[in-house]
Structure 1
């Protein structure tokens, strides 16, 4: 795909930072994988636009508010900038699974928001990197190529092995970045 946009869309919890079944409810609980911060910065420095698409139903459930989420994302942007990179856009869904929104993955609303924010007509050929099938399904709905990381829920997702036929699988975001940057 020679004319594919140079965009990598990342899920957040389990890809960039440690995940928790009890939700990441505060800045103190938001613990990034150090190799992920550097991977984002390396991709950015190499000319890739890196965006984030994250379901944050903990807001709808009342576990934390949007101001708390903004602090987490501010710290993420600060760490990536300190490593010499940039995050092009962060899209999040604050809704619960039964709210009937169009943005909660596996629906493509967050990716549509990213495409609009980046001024792109299409995300076809971009990369969607996640640790769950719903991440990859959202990307595939927009024509993205898929990469599953084994961090977070990725090992469990890989063990189920359904819906991964078109996905490349990597140990973590750093391994994906190594592979992608070697393709050029």
Structure 2
């Protein structure tokens, strides 16, 4: 469990991770203002909940997962506000409000833990950290085909493990 007891510790975490989070969010939003808001919200939330957060993976993976959820939430709600013709009930706005992101995150982590160490690494780099196949191949010094194979295997196992959450996952991914 990570404990952040002082503003100095928080500042060190911020300095280490803000750029990674910014890049991950910007890759998805392509909008500087939205990206800055998302990263700021993540760090504000992190500071406010610092005493209760339980991180079961690395801090980087936790923060990048937070980026993914904030981006999803942003697009889900911006779509609602820009399209006045849709009824909120039809698109499931209540599902977004009720969704327990921590439960979804826990289920995903359990599924990922069932992968081999190499598959876990490739899956996290691709799906959580947002690296491309070529970047993963380069960083791990393996062929792109090996990355594709590992991803295919990983995705199959994760899909099977999360099959019971398919309706919920379709809304977010």
Please confirm whether the aligned pair reaches a TM-score higher than 0.5, indicating the same fold: no
The structure whose residues are more often strand, as a share, is: 1
- The structure carrying a bigger helix percent of its residues is 2
Give the structure-1-normalised TM-score: 0.25
